[in-house]
Structure 1
Amino acid sequence: MRFASLGSGSEGNALLVEAQSGVTTTRILLDCGFSGKEVARRLERLGTGVDELDAILITHEHSDHIGSALTLARKLSIPLHMSWGTARAVGADEADVDLHVLWGDEAVAIGDLSVLPYTVPHDAREPLQYIFSDGASRLGVLTDVGTSTPHISAVLSGCDALVLECNHDVQMLAASRYPPSLKARIGGNHGHLNNDAAADILASLDRSKLRHLVAAHLSQQNNLPELAQAAMAAVLGAAATDVVVATQSEGFGWLSL
């Protein structure tokens, strides 16, 4: 299994997960928060294309995650997977798409990958995050979440790779020009993880198998890559450069498990 990011942040998110069985290859796009043309361009950069996607999974209905998902799913007949709440929020339940409704903690098989959706606290209709497994390795993804829960720690423990939200630095958000209501939303229990909260989640996990750690969904206004890396590296007892940062413009290249 390998994975790469097309881009991560408030202007658009998409993560590509690929698994090979020796005979078949499965490619799943997690979130599709860019225009169709931009998704195609960024996939091409990774050596693939929209016509090679086996499924699109959606975490929640916010525009930086849903983007062109319905359009691509309809035009290219790509199966579209999301919670019922998300489907209702974006109109997928009434759209001409191959909709597959997902439920928290009910794993589904998509080609060579097993996908486990799990529920998280975020200000959306029915948000899900995901664990991917090819039978040998596990990739855990956690972005767009306000606070941790015992369930989150349980499902993310023992993963071989993690993509973990490090949205903002507390001091930078407090000093920003954002209105108080937006600051409260971002920093609230249904908002986004700050660097310290992300580090606390990481510290709570079984990290014995962890090979790759990615800091994701960084705010371009209220965080710095080096701050997120330092917070994660302190937990790992590693160099800051060992923590990969998913950027808005480039995401990150292929990481293999």
Structure 2
Amino acid sequence: MALYITSLNSGSNGNCYYVGNETDAIFIDAGISCRETEKRMRRLELSMDIVRAIFISHEHTDHIKGVAVLAKKYRLPVYITATTLQYAGLLLNDHVVMPLHGNSIINVGDLVVTAFPKLHDAADPHSFMVSHNNINIGVFTDIGFPCEQLKHHFQKCHAAFLETNYDEEMLEKGRYPYFLKNRIRGGKGHLSNTQALQVFKDHKPSFMTHLLLSHLSKDNNNPELVQNLFTEHANGTEIIVASRFAETAVYCVR
């Protein structure tokens, strides 16, 4: 059975990634409103009825903005670390909060979700790999530096969402204040195009069919630039730039 993936939104204005099969699906983060999530799901002809859970990567607003309403309306469990919950300020009923720990493996219907720590300026941030029938989908965004765990999991992915947040020259010459530039590129901020491309070139498995370039900066990146950069090294992998304004198509990963 195949896995189906889409980015409902990707960027500092909201992040939400969908991974599912014919019967079970999950959201990784829910950083857009419930209403907007529903609207985009309908346009993609995806059903909220098979969404089984929400997994939270960290507490920043662009990853949690829609969580409380979605969880309440659809009675969805929310997998979140205790520390992230403490800092998130989410109003969640106790019965929907499910424990999440580093390097934990969680079964949600027929899906298997692996969580592992990442480098980001948040309380207890995690990345995820979602698996079914030996198909692996990685969700790797908001990463300050490509650590060994990221490389290890990337090598197993048939498809992945990989952060390409900023072009180094655009950031350096851009309007951001110096402290913010250093926060972004300082090892616990975001991945540059160059860093992400190195991960892709060095660790892409031969069976990777799709790569969704994610969490692009509005001010410090350019979708066409990063599309061309990765396409040059794609070697059969379809390269998609995830938008900060709309959902992507649904991609079937076999």
TM-score greater than 0.5 by the shorter chain: yes
Alignment partner, residue 64 of structure 2 = 66
Matches of 2:176 and 2:29 in 1, distance apart? Answer: 26
Q: What is the CA-CA distance between 1:123 and the residue it aligns to?
A: 0.4
Matches of 1:197 and 1:206 in 2, distance apart? Answer: 13
Q: Which residue identity lines up with residue 244 of structure 2 in the other structure?
A: Q
Q: What is the CA-CA distance between 1:37 and the residue it aligns to?
A: 1.3
Matches for 1:166-245 after TM superposition, within 5 Å: 166-237=164-235, 242-245=238-241
Q: Which residue identity lines up with residue 18 of structure 1 in the other structure?
A: G
Residue 82 (structure 2) pairs with residue 84 (structure 1): yes
Matches of 1:246 and 1:256 in 2, distance apart? Answer: 16
Deviations along 1:17-36, one digit per CA (max 9) or x if unpaired, are 1113xxxx001111111112
Alignment partner, residue 14 of structure 1 = 16
Higher mean alpha-carbon deviation, 107-116 vs 49-58, is at 49-58
What's the TM-score once normalised by structure 2's chain length?
Answer: 0.93
What's the TM-score once normalised by structure 1's chain length?
Answer: 0.92
Q: Would you say the 8 A contact 1:164–1:213 is kept in 2? A: yes
Q: Would you say the 8 A contact 1:59–1:129 is kept in 2? A: yes
Q: Would you say the 8 A contact 2:144–2:191 is kept in 1? A: yes
Q: Which residue identity lines up with residue 163 of structure 1 in the other structure?
A: F
Matches for 1:92-107 after TM superposition, within 5 Å: 92=90, 95-107=93-105
- SS where residue 134 of structure 2 aligns? coil
Q: Which residue identity lines up with residue 216 of structure 1 in the other structure?
A: S
Matches of 1:211 and 1:50 in 2, distance apart? Answer: 26
Q: Would you say the 8 A contact 1:195–1:227 is kept in 2? A: no
Q: What is the CA-CA distance between 1:133 and the residue it aligns to?
A: 0.6
Q: What is the CA-CA distance between 1:49 and the residue it aligns to?
A: 4.5
Identify which of 244, 247, 250 aligns with 1:248.
244
Higher mean alpha-carbon deviation, 183-192 vs 87-96, is at 87-96
CA RMSD of aligned residues (A): 1.8
Q: What is the CA-CA distance between 1:206 and the residue it aligns to?
A: 4.3
Alignment partner, residue 151 of structure 1 = 149
Q: Which residue identity lines up with residue 162 of structure 1 in the other structure?
A: A
Higher mean alpha-carbon deviation, 140-149 vs 95-104, is at 95-104
Higher mean alpha-carbon deviation, 122-131 vs 219-228, is at 219-228
Q: Which residue identity lines up with residue 250 of structure 1 in the other structure?
A: A
Higher mean alpha-carbon deviation, 245-254 vs 108-117, is at 245-254
Structure 1 gap segments, 5+ residues each: none
Q: What is the CA-CA distance between 1:92 and the residue it aligns to?
A: 4.8
Q: Which residue identity lines up with residue 144 of structure 2 in the other structure?
A: G
Higher mean alpha-carbon deviation, 192-201 vs 96-105, is at 96-105
Matches for 1:88-127 after TM superposition, within 5 Å: 88-92=86-90, 95-127=93-125
Matches of 1:122 and 1:191 in 2, distance apart? Answer: 5
Q: 1:136 to 1:94 in 2, by over 3 A?
A: closer
Matches of 1:115 and 1:183 in 2, distance apart? Answer: 33
Structure 2 gap segments, 5+ residues each: none
Matches of 1:114 and 1:246 in 2, distance apart? Answer: 24
Identity %: 34
